[in-house]
Amino acid sequence: MNRREIILGGASAAAILGATRAGAQQPQDVVIGALYQMSGASAQVGVDAHHAFDTALDIINKSYDLDLPLAKGEGLAGLGGAKVKIVIADHQGDPQKGRAEAERLITQGKVCCLIGSYQSAVAVTISQTAERYQVPYLSADNSSPSLHRQGLKFYFRPGAHDEMFSKAMFDFFDIQRKKGKKIDTLALFHEDTIFGTDSSNAQQKLADERGYKIVANIKYRANSPSLTAEVQQLKAADADVLMPSSYTTDAILLVKTMNELGYKPKSIMAQDAGFSEKAFYDAVGDKVIGVISRASFSLDLAAKRPSVAKVNEMFKARSGKDLNDLTSREFMGLLLLADAVDRAKSTDGEKIRAALAATDLPGERTIMPWKRVKFGPDGQNLDADPVLLQWLGDKFVTIFPDQAAVAEAKWPMNG
């Protein structure tokens, strides 16, 4: 039975195959499996992820003068210059399908490790499958805090999770309060899937611990046709800070509805997701000037991380948009994974796992604002500092933490 994998991402595949034809004796390609939702509501995330991975593969397989792992030199030196390629599977946002595709990639596709997956629910089954087959799974953009607490050895997350993100927000609030700004009341506005629930739980806990009053905690049904009544309640509560945890469609509807009902929140502190998507800012960016969102990445990092500009340029050439919170983590995640394979000098799952566990990369050698990449015993990178970005109408600026900030925050947002 000869199953052919359909390699999608024509340009990069062609480039990689072309490069491999060049030599007489080429080592076998290293295959990494990626799992994303490629159809349905969040399909755009999957499409963008694909571009991010292609950009990373370009850097790995060709030689670039950048201070990033595997940039210099073609392919993986530890495996005799082997090229890396990626196979993408569609999990359609369903944990069962995620597991089936992970199994298929591992058993049929012979991938040496997995990366994914945006939806945290699917990450649960993928990470468990990876554990069962003893193949590392790198959680590029899943933010649920429960994932690294499953007691898995093959789970690695270089980026921050919801509790860390929310902590950054509250650290920022504390600083503003010390400066004399009024931040007493908060309004939580979150959708009802895992993302919204985890986010609001973290925010609720921090608010209680640090003495902020939650005057509205509105859980709404994701993809609702109308949010008028919900926004009505936000308007009535009129908190000092509105804290939304929403995906793109809901975020757009939220802002439009607030505008229609004449509600201008004093400040908005968003939990990323929809608030970091280009489509959102194209649609309603003019109405939310001054909104702050937590993020894992910002373009003005270029000042402190020299590779950012070049990588963004490469990514933009493929996708037509700038790197954002998700695509930057996906890009970096693939580099980290390939780097581990390189250091392991093998495609054996256990050896790659050991190499990942031994990762110790300084933040300057990444495109992220992280201090460094070093995984704890549970697979979580504790030095994955999040940043807070403020939207100025035409671009984002980093306003927190101090070591990454390029500007003072404009607070409050309105009035």
Residue 403 tokens, joined: 């070591």
Please identify, using beta-carbon distances, which residue of 49 and 59 lies nearer to another protein. Answer: 49
Does position 355 interact with another protein (CB under 8 A)? The reply is: no
Q: Six-digit token pair at 130?
A: 């990876």
Q: What does the alpha-carbon distance between residue 230 and residue 100 come to, in Å, rounded to a whole number?
A: 38
- Of 232, 376, 393, 403, the residue at the interface with another protein (CB under 8 A) is 232
Kindly state the smallest distance separating residue 98's Cβ from another protein, in Å.
9
260 binds another protein (CB under 8 A): yes
Measured from the CB atom, the residue of 33 and 363 that comes closer to another protein is 33
Q: How buried is 279 (Cβ within 10 angstroms: 0-12 exposed, 13-18 middle, 19+ buried)?
A: middle
Is the four-CA dihedral 132, 133, 134, 139 of positive or negative sign?
Answer: negative
The one among 13, 19, 47, 214 contacting another protein by CB under 8 A: 47
Q: Which of residues 72-101 bind another protein (CB under 8 A)?
A: 87-90, 92-97, 99-101
What would the two tokens of residue 27 be? 């080592």
User: According to CB under 8 A, which one of 226, 360, 402, 408 is a site residue for another protein?
Assistant: 226
**Between residues 121 and 404, which has the closer beta carbon with respect to another protein?**
121
Distance CA 117, CA 194 (A): 14
Minimum Å gap between C-beta 33 and another protein is 10
Residue 414 in contact with another protein, rule: CB under 8 A:
no
CB of 286 to another protein, least distance (A): 9
**Residue 235 burial by CB count (10 A; 0-12/13-18/19+): exposed, middle or buried?**
middle
DSSP state of 348: -
**Segment contacting another protein by CB under 8 A, of 110-118, 124-132, 158-166, 341-349:** 124-132
Determine which residue in the list 115, 121, 314, 352 makes contact with another protein, applying CB under 8 A. Answer: 121
Pick out residues in 173-202 that bind another protein (CB under 8 A): 192-194, 196-198
Among 15, 279, 382, 392, binds another protein (CB under 8 A): 279
259 forms part of the interface with another protein (CB under 8 A): yes
Among 163-171, 225-233, 294-302, 310-318, the segment contacting another protein (CB under 8 A): 225-233
Residue closer to another protein by CB (options 103, 174) is 103
Spatial distance between the Cα atoms of 252 and 213, rounded to a whole number of angstroms: 26
Q: Which position among 11, 236, 303, 317 is part of the footprint of another protein (CB under 8 A)?
A: 236
Of 136, 74, 77, nearest to 105 by C-alpha is: 136
Number of residues that bind another protein (CB under 8 A): 75
- Give the x/- contact pattern for another protein in 281-320, rule: CB under 8 A: -xxx------------------------------------
Is residue 243 close enough to count as binding another protein by CB under 8 A?
no
Choosing from 26, 44, 204, 346, the residue that interacts with another protein (CB under 8 A) is 44
Site for another protein in 19-38 (CB under 8 A): 38
Nearer to another protein among residue 162 and residue 300 (C-beta): 162
| Candidate residues 218, 241, 332, 355; the one interacting with another protein per rule CB under 8 A | 218
Question: Can you tell me the distance from the alpha carbon of 70 to that of 186, in angstroms, rounded to the nearest whole number?
Answer: 45
Q: Which residues pair with 139 in a beta bridge?
A: 116
- 163 membership: H or E segment, kind and range: helix 162-178
Q: Which residues of 390-400 are buried (b: 16+ CB within 10 A; e: fewer)?
A: bbeeeebbbbb
The span from the CA of 254 to the CA of 218, in Å, is 12
Among 26, 185, 204, 224, binds another protein (CB under 8 A): 224
Site for another protein in 148-177 (CB under 8 A): 150
Six-digit token pair at 129? 């499958």
> Minimum distance from CB of 300 to another protein (Å)?
25
- Which residue is associated with the tokens 């809901």? 250
Check: CB of residue 221 under 8 Å from CB of residue 191. yes
CA distance to 18, 73, 247, 335, per residue, from 67 (Å) = 25, 12, 33, 12
Both tokens of 292, joined, read: 């702050």
Write down the least CB distance from residue 346 to another protein, Å: 22
- Pick the piece of the chain touching another protein (CB under 8 A) from 53-61, 144-152, 295-303, 379-387: 144-152
Q: Give me the sign of the Cα torsion angle 227, 228, 230, 231.
A: positive
Cis bond before residue 412 (omega within 30° of 0): yes
Fill in the DSSP letter of residue 148: G
CB 339, min distance to another protein, A: 24
